Structure 1
């Protein structure tokens, strides 16, 4: 009987505590470091993604495609980036003049996106002297090329056509008369209408941002470090 009880006890499955201990022994902690939350660039870090751009062709000085302008609408969250077009390859001067003008042919494209808050808490960090300094990511953009040049060309054509029709069909002036207009408010309009969003977006002004160079990037990298006056020198457990 004793032997049977011993075999039953040995055949029981391991507990979660035992599993955690075995995992800890298989993957031991090799190093620990203090973590600091840097306040300097809080709410100023944006992660830009380019889903239609190959990872082998990033926008940088090596490819000759570096942003020339950046603007954001802070309230509605829209972002636009001006990117030059490579005129050495796959560039048609005739079409560039058609969508632009003789004086200013089309030589850049506009990337656009709406900033979205991260689905999870994303952080940007830097190691300095055995310390990890982190800053939260404010938003994420997925910048894609727009067809603004096509829309602008179509708008110019419509404006010219409408102007010609208006001049040709201008009626004779009639004497002014009073007209009573009654406006009925639609209280049953759907609350999820996109009209207020579109109006807010069109009514908000763009805020231009400057584009830094390598020295500016180095300065921003230093700002990721938490200043000494904000570092917790001693921690007393409760």
Structure 2
């Protein structure tokens, strides 16, 4: 990164060290997301250099959910028993066509506990787990071991009145800005525990169904409306939340193609998408605000937490009138004090 213009800082307390020509890239047809990993240190990124390259990246564009699968080692600090048990649970769920868990799946909305076929899981009892552990390498290759970590989050898109984030790329004395379509914070997901819980519910549901006698008569449709009352007595209905959960459960994952940051493909996209090609013909931006209006626009709105009404400051005329009123009041009270003294 080379600066544009260097200034001498001998005459200024806060000098300008460099100036850059700023360009705003045109809106892209592709979506650019800022993906953050709050539980991962900056010096340990998920890439090929740290042996933690993402195995798969998937997204639900309509509801905004994103998940990343990260490979984990199964030979150091790894519980093989739990690895096989949870790996079997995930494989059983996927064999039953269940590929999403948690909020991204609408918390199971629209699915029944009997949707999971537990015949395969029933055969994998304690003896089956021990067999897989004895042949651990083969079990790991066959996908029967939990050998990956899933990170997930929901994409937060910019809203009116909220900050707008942009990516900056330097080229010589040029700064090119590209708008970010959304931000997602990726945190560990526990899909293996959800899958195991689903299997337990399936077993209980099938066991209960086998003992119940067949019901007679026509089935009845019962509609439940969940309501709650706010602080002011108003009623809230969870219609919007329910519709969103249904939409999330019905939307299918879209797999994305991942390129490591050090690959030629990543650098090619970086050069093609994040820079204005025709800098000489780019239109010049002109502001319609003066300095004071600009500061008001980027500043937070004024807010007084006090409920008391503040008095307006007194003018010179108000202070003179107030002083005259105080003098008249003092003069009127003086004879009364004199009469009191004479009576004594």
Same fold by TM-score greater than 0.5: yes
* RMSD of aligned Cα (Å): 3.2
Structure 1: gaps (5+ residues)? 1-23
- The residue number in structure 1 matching 2:181 is 138
- The residue number in structure 2 matching 1:92 is 79
| SS state at 1:205 partner | coil
TM-score if structure 2 supplies the norm length? 0.54
Is structure 2 residue 206 aligned with structure 1 residue 166? no
Shift of 1:170: 4.5
- The residue number in structure 2 matching 1:205 is 252
Q: Deviations over 1:117-144 (max 9, x none)?
A: 3552222121224221110112111111
Q: Which has the higher helix share?
A: 2
Shift of 1:31: 3.0
1:58 to 37, 40, 45: 45
- The residue number in structure 1 matching 2:267 is 218
Cα gap change, 1:105/1:132 in structure 2, threshold over 3 Å: closer, same or farther?
same
1:67 to 36, 51, 54: 54
Cα gap change, 1:192/1:26 in structure 2, threshold over 3 Å: closer, same or farther?
farther
| Matched-pair contact (CA < 8 Å) for 2:38–2:187 | yes
The runs of at least 4 aligned residues of structure 1 exceeding 3 Å deviation read: 40-43, 177-189, 233-238
Q: Deviations over 1:85-144 (max 9, x none)?
A: 122322122211011124421111111111113552222121224221110112111111
Alignment length (residue pairs): 212
Is structure 2 residue 243 aligned with structure 1 residue 196? yes
Cα gap change, 1:216/1:165 in structure 2, threshold over 3 Å: closer, same or farther?
same
Q: Pick the structure with greater CA Rg.
A: 2
| Matched-pair contact (CA < 8 Å) for 2:226–2:237 | no
How far apart in 2 are the matches of 1:92 and 1:184?
A: 44
| Matched-pair contact (CA < 8 Å) for 1:43–1:137 | no
How far apart in 2 are the matches of 1:205 and 1:148?
A: 17
How far apart in 2 are the matches of 1:67 and 1:48?
A: 13
- The residue number in structure 1 matching 2:332 is none
Shift of 1:234: 6.8
TM-score if structure 1 supplies the norm length? 0.75
1:155 to 168, 180, 198: 198
- The residue number in structure 2 matching 1:9 is none
